[in-house]
Amino acid sequence: MDKVQLRRQLLQQRRSLPTTVWQENSDRLCQNLISLPLFQTAKTILGYFSLHQEPDLGGLFRSAAVWGFPRCVGQNLAWHRWSVGDSLQTGPYGIAEPEADAPPLSPSEIDLILVPAVACDRRGYRLGYGGGYYDRLFADPLWANIPSVGIIFEFAYLSALPVEPWDMTVSLVCTEDRVYSPYKINQ
């Protein structure tokens, strides 16, 4: 199955989750994140605002960490500090994002990146939404070594995804059932 078909199938499966199951799974996933030493020691965490029944991380945003969220700027992500209560705007893909004048965050300030995904595989590859934003981010040497966690529901954790030469991996994958440490093969 190619990426387009797989993405369509998995997004439909995610959208078909009853709201109560989606929220329960999101809450369990957040508990798994909270138990991670990487999360517990992170001072600055990059996250995302849930869209189309992505796992909801909203319960984490009141933690003591500094939170950053992306703005789509051209073909790249620009990261800005955000706290509960700060205003948001709607970005080009209908995703909530910080205002353009929110304080920017640089790679040197970031301890952990929580990465939205349609699916992840056992090697740490992720299937995104097709824009390549996170692949470009992780290809940049300034961002490449920051720990990252692919965030998905268990049904979207697959043995292998179709991979292109530009696809980048995440450090860990977190679902409502557990946290996976991908095995790396000659990448």
Please name the helix (run of DSSP H) or strand (run of DSSP E) that holds residue 39, with its range, or none: helix 37-41
Q: Do residues 135 and 128 touch, judged by C-beta distance below 8 A? A: yes
Range of the domain at 58: 3-180
What is the pTM (predicted TM-score) of this model? 0.94
Confidence at 186, pLDDT banded by 50, 70, 90: very low
Residue pLDDT, tens place only, 62-75: 888 999 999 999 99
CATH of the domain at 126: 3.40.50.10420
Q: Which residues of 20-53 are buried (b: 16+ CB within 10 A; e: fewer)?
A: eebeebbebbbebbeebebbeebebbbbbbbeeb
**Domains in the chain, number:** 1
Residue 141 lies in a domain: yes
Residue 185 lies in a domain: no
Share of the chain above pLDDT 70, in %: 98
Residue pLDDT, tens place only, 132-177: 999 999 999 999 999 999 999 999 999 999 999 999 999 999 999 9
Tokens 């349609």 found at: 118
Residue 15 lies in a domain: yes
Residue 187 lies in a domain: no
Tokens of 41: 């020691």
Residue 125 lies in a domain: yes
Residue 84 lies in a domain: yes
- Burial (CB count within 10 angstroms: exposed 0-12, middle 13-18, buried 19+), residue 90: exposed
Residue 51 lies in a domain: yes
Phi and psi at 43, nearest 5°, equal -90, -35
Residue 68 lies in a domain: yes
Residue pLDDT, tens place only, 61-118: 988 899 999 999 999 999 999 999 999 999 988 999 999 999 999 999 999 999 999 9
